[in-house]
Amino acid sequence: MKEETKVSIAAMIGIAFEFYDFLIFGFVAGILANLFFPSGNKIVSLLDTFAVFATGFAGRPLGAIVFGHLGDKIGRKYTLIITMTLMGLSSLFTGLLPGYAILGVLAPTLLTILRLLQGFSLGGEFGGGITLSAEFAEPGKRAFYTGIAQMAQGIGPLMATGLIFVFSSIMLPSAFASIGWRILFIIGAFIAVIGVMIRLKISESPVFKKVKEKNEISHFPLVDAFRIYWKRILLGLGFIIGGTTMTYATSVFASSYLENVIGVPARLVSLALTIGYIVEAISILLFAMLADKVGRKPLMVATAVGLLILVYPYFLLISTGQFSLILLAQIMYSVIGSMSTGAYATALTELFPTKVRYTALSFDYHVGVAVFGGTTPFIASYLIYATGYKLAPVYWGIAGMILTLIAYLLYKETKGTVFEGQEVLKR
């Protein structure tokens, strides 16, 4: 197997774990609400649970700064091993944590701390994984190898929804609420072990090594990134907003909404999402290959426009509660949303030089995800609660995607960019 492929797969496992763990938390939000936030009002308990979900994202920007600094100072490989280890431990202890009935207020407190630790460790994942994948790839195949890593955005949720479908099909609801959800988090810890083993066997980024040999490493990557490239950081942040809002609205919020508000059985919800994620994983790689041919910008703009058109029909279709229409909505979203998944990630790597790339990517991605992704389930639930209008989340999705469309339109094509030192690498 080529080193580029191994590196991209190693990155994919880490990013997949991110989506797996956080989506598992969202998918079992109703169970967690009963176990950790018992009250007489189901919506209030659910809001408390999503508030904890959002606090988990608060650790991401800090993790992005800390691990971005390490990644740009000591290297990408070992920084990514540290982040994967922390993620695995957080997932393991979440699965073992007793509920409110046993620990009282300590239970939701510990749950919140574990979410913060999980978010902190995840802060170094996306930026490091995407950076490493892009730096190993030739300029003409950069989107393809980045696309392999980005397939995680379909594979991670696919693992989550697939396992939920299996567990909810073979276990009684009471058994799943008691032990099934815990097993899902413990499985996440095993995924982390596999990820660490693979990362121990890959090489350090050849581009980073060249920069280090020339003594061009930044002493303060975050400072240099903001001092010199602040406009690009703002632009990159715009790339993240719309897709993040839609991703969490169509996964974490949608699953909880369908089960707790519309009343669709959990196994049917997970089945529809599972099929959608299979389509998404395949589509991501195909569109990433296309981005190497036609450029990043056309696919990015097409995605933003397509999702703006789709967002209202999506929520309208899933609100019917009919499985066939829910499945149609998920497949349409999976295809349209995947058009830019490899393209925008590749474009982000090409916006920044090697000495600040890990830091800048991590900051952009995790600040965007923390502010717009972590709050989406809570805001969507609150909009329905406050207005009584079940399609109210549509307007949140539209607002986020408009901001991203503006960023995509301002972006100047970077296809064919050669990283510093890459022109002298021997392949």
Q: Which of 189, 191, 260, 227 is nearest to 352 (CA)?
A: 227
Residue 170 to residues 157, 176, 278, 399: CA-CA distances in angstroms? Answer: 20, 9, 22, 40
Residue 309 phi, psi dihedral angles, 5° rounding = -75, -35
Interatomic CA distance for residues 241 and 169, integer angstroms: 35
Task: Say whether pLDDT at 346 is over 90.
Answer: yes
Task: Say whether pLDDT at 222 is over 50.
Answer: yes
Task: Say whether pLDDT at 224 is over 90.
Answer: yes
pLDDT value, residue 160: 84
Residue with tokens 């980005």: 150
Segment among 51-55, 144-148, 158-162 with least mean pLDDT:
51-55
- Domain 3-202+219-414 listed as CATH 1.20.1250.20: yes
List the chain domain ranges.
Answer: 3-202+219-414
Contact of 20 with 94, CB cutoff 8 Å: no
Residue 197 to residues 13, 88, 182: CA-CA distances in angstroms? Answer: 11, 13, 24
Query: CB-hemisphere CA count at 13 Å for 339?
Result: 19
Q: What does the mean pLDDT of the chain come to?
A: 87
Interatomic CA distance for residues 87 and 82, integer angstroms: 9
Q: How many residues does the chain have?
A: 427
348 is written with which tokens?
Answer: 């982000």
pLDDT value, residue 299: 97
Task: Say whether pLDDT at 374 is over 80.
Answer: no
Task: Say whether pLDDT at 394 is over 80.
Answer: no
DSSP state of 290: H
> pLDDT class for 280, splitting at 50, 70, 90?
very high
Interatomic CA distance for residues 248 and 253, integer angstroms: 6
Task: Say whether pLDDT at 237 is over 80.
Answer: yes
85 is written with which tokens?
Answer: 């280890």
pLDDT value, residue 245: 81
Give start and end residues of each alpha helix (H) in 171-296. Answer: 173-175, 181-200, 206-213, 221-248, 254-257, 266-294
Task: Say whether pLDDT at 161 is over 50.
Answer: yes
pLDDT greater at residue 130 or residue 273: 130
Interatomic CA distance for residues 267 and 243, integer angstroms: 26
Question: Percent of the chain scored above 70 by pLDDT?
Answer: 95
pLDDT value, residue 95: 92
Interatomic CA distance for residues 99 and 108, integer angstroms: 8
Q: Could you tell me how far CA 176 lies from the centroid of its own chain?
A: 25
> pLDDT class for 252, splitting at 50, 70, 90?
low
Task: Convert the pLDDT of each residue in 111-122 to its tens digit.
Answer: 888 988 888 998
Contact of 301 with 413, CB cutoff 8 Å: no
> pLDDT class for 79, splitting at 50, 70, 90?
very high
DSSP helix/strand/coil, 281: helix
Q: Which long-range contacts (CB under 8 A, 24 or more apart) does 310-314 make?
A: 310/336, 311/246, 311/394, 311/397, 311/398, 311/401, 312/391, 312/394, 312/398, 314/250
Task: Convert the pLDDT of each residue in 42-78 to its tens digit.
Answer: 667 777 777 777 777 788 899 999 999 999 999 999 9
pTM: 0.85
DSSP helix/strand/coil, 105: coil
pLDDT value, residue 408: 97
Interatomic CA distance for residues 196 and 177, integer angstroms: 30
Question: Percent of the chain scored above 90 by pLDDT?
Answer: 48
Query: CB-hemisphere CA count at 13 Å for 10?
Result: 32
Task: Say whether pLDDT at 148 is over 90.
Answer: yes
* Mean pLDDT calculated for residue range 198-215: 90
Contact of 196 with 202, CB cutoff 8 Å: no
